[in-house]
Structure 1
Amino acid sequence: MYNLNPICGDPLKPAIVFIHGFSIGAMAFDEIFNDPPLVSEWNARFHSISIVNYDKPTNAAAWVSQRLAEDFDAVVQSYNLIKPFVLGWSLGAAQIADILSFHPPSYISGVIYDAGVPCLASLPNTVSVAAFASMPGLNQTTNVTQFQSGYIDFINLCHPALDLDFYLGCLGDGMVQPRAIVDLSFSRTQNSTGLLQAGTSGALPLLAIFGGDDQLVLKQGVLDAIAGWQKLTVVTLPDAEHFTWISRPVLFRATVLNWTGS
């Protein structure tokens, strides 16, 4: 149910597992690892990998919380990682709640939310009205025109001025995803108890990154969802859209690297 992006960086440095968001796959992170002006600095400090739902299963059993935690385990085992940091972007951040439902906080070194939704239950308070307005199209299984319109609106909300090739890549990722997966992504059952206990007990540090111009995820809603998290660092990247690392690449990299001690 997963495949791996090539490792990037020095394996002696702290590892960060990147989890992508809704519909957009691992290619979303290409800008992070393939930026020529910064790649030497980035590679010298740490290596990273990304989770992808590769075989696109449409049965509900493949989308239970335990199965998603097992996907993360497979990545950790494949690369012999010890206590990696986990970065969840957008809806991908909710998968960290799955991981901490089946593992103690000591399994990872820390949590990074990049414009991240902490858990599925927090969606109504962490996602903007404009984003929800596009949901009827995203959830559409029979009306192709409505789906296409909704998905295009969704990508434009992520960033209004993407490079054409990257923009087309985002659209392509959404178009090949089975419609049943969309429903399962939002309707599956999830328990956030382990996540919140890890934060309120002080067991795990959390870096919450927000885009100052993000049109999808609401900063205050996210902070409300993780209220009481003891070791919390909040950084807002000015003028950044939902693709924070595309809007502010240098600041994004510096924020993550400094916080992880890479």
Structure 2
Amino acid sequence: MGRVTGAGGSRLAFRTAGDPQGPPIVFVHGWAASGAAWSGQLSDPALAGHRLVAVDLRGHGASDVPADGYDRPEVWAGDLAAVLDHCRAATGLPPVLVGWSYGGLVVTDYLRERGTAGIAGVVYAGALTEVGRDRPGGVIGPAWDGIMRPALSDDPEDAIPALTTLARRMTAAPLPGADVQRYVGDMLRVPPSVRKALFRRDVGSAEVLAAIDVPVLVAHGTADTVVAPASAEYTAGKISTAVVRWFEEVGHMPFVERRAEFNAALLEFAGPVANH
């Protein structure tokens, strides 16, 4: 674990693995998760030639929990910039950014505020790039049916069952009970106020996506019921450099359900991009 100082002085925790001098890949997790979500990538010898960094977003995991900033693109951009600057200083190389779920929006916020300079490429994995009512880059699926309101509740009797249901709905194939509990534990570590604040946004990204001029991989499960495949189609359709990789009969976590396949696709993408 390491730490950097993000926007407004918030301390952000991150996990590292792989070659300290290798081309960096920076992983950005989703709503109410943590960098631990990427354990299947950090521990894969096939990716060990890269410097692998998985950040805990503000309000998540071992990072600070400031009172505000969760609805401001410039704050997310400042946080992510601190991590990327750390990687560039350590390796002298531009990172590949991997955003999963809400992490895709955080990556897009970075591009909105800072552009693509110093970025080797972007991977959107089960990601949304917009949020708000009727935003086509943020279409959610039926996994949220009946649980959105209780998942944001302060009352543990409401929140814990809802978050457990969401964790079970993350994948198309059932997860082991211990894994479900680990994901629920990460969710509960995020205060209800933060879980709510992340959805208290309304932002489109059409112009941001259209301006991306670095290689992009859009990886999405065809059976994703958390972030609908339509969101991936929208994102890919806006980015001229995008290549789409569909994971058949896979849910919201292709990097878990099809770890080897996802990691191979990531390596196939990141290797040439990082050495460009």
TM-score bucket (shorter structure) = 0.7 to 0.9
Structure 1 residues 62 and 117, CA gap change in structure 2 (3 angstroms)? closer
Counterparts of 2:160 and 2:86, CA distance in 1 = 36
Equivalent of 2:126, from 90, 103, 115?
A: 115
* Structure 1 partner of 2:102: 91
Q: What is the distance in 2 between the residues matched to 1:124 and 1:42?
A: 29
Percent of aligned positions with the same letter in both sequences?
A: 20
Could you tell me which of 238, 243, 257 is aligned with 1:228?
Answer: 238
Question: Any conservation in 1 of the 2:71–2:200 contact (CA below 8 Å)?
Answer: no
Q: Distance in 2 between matches of 1:216 and 1:180?
A: 21
What is the CA-CA distance between 1:4 and the residue it aligns to?
Answer: 1.3
Q: What is the one-letter code of the residue matched to 1:134?
A: I
Mean CA deviation greater in 226-235 or 183-192: 183-192
Q: Does 1:154 align with 2:166?
A: yes
The residue number in structure 2 matching 1:254 is 264
1:14 corresponds to: 23
| AA partner of residue 53 (structure 2) | I
Q: Is the 8 A contact 1:239 1:247 kept in 2?
A: no
SS in 1 for 2:227: coil
TM-score (ref. length: structure 1): 0.87
* Superposition deviation, residue 170 in structure 1: 0.9
Structure 1 residue matching 2:250: 3-state secondary structure: coil
Structure 2 unmatched ranges of 5 or more: 1-9
Alignment check: 8 A CA contact 1:9 1:47 kept:
yes
- List structure 1 segments (4+ residues) > 6 angstroms apart after TM superposition: none
What number of residue pairs does the alignment pair up?
A: 251
- Kept after mapping to 1: 8 A contact 2:36/2:54: no
Residues 1:3 and 2:8 aligned together: no
Match of 1:68 among 76, 79, 83: 76
Moved more, 18-27 or 188-197: 188-197
1:221 offset after TM fit, Å? 2.9
| Unaligned stretches of 5+ residues in structure 1 | none
- Match among 144, 158, 161 for residue 156 of structure 2: 144
Which SS does the other structure have where 2:148 is aligned? helix
- Give me the CA root mean square deviation: 2.2
Specify the code of the residue in structure 1 equivalent to 2:159. F
**Match of 1:210, SS?**
strand
Shift of 1:92: 0.9
More divergent stretch after superposition (229-238 vs 73-82): 73-82
Question: In the alignment, what sits opposite 2:54?
Answer: 50
In the other structure, the counterpart of 2:6 is none
Q: Supply the AA of the counterpart residue of 1:27.
A: A
Task: Say if 1:41 and 1:196 are closer, same or farther in 2 by CA, change over 3 A.
Answer: closer
Tell me what 2:41 maps to. 32
Q: 1:107 to 1:192 in 2, by over 3 A?
A: farther
Comparing both structures, which one devotes a greater share of its residues to helix? 1
For the residue of structure 2 that corresponds to 1:16, the secondary structure is strand
**Correspondence for 1:195:** 208
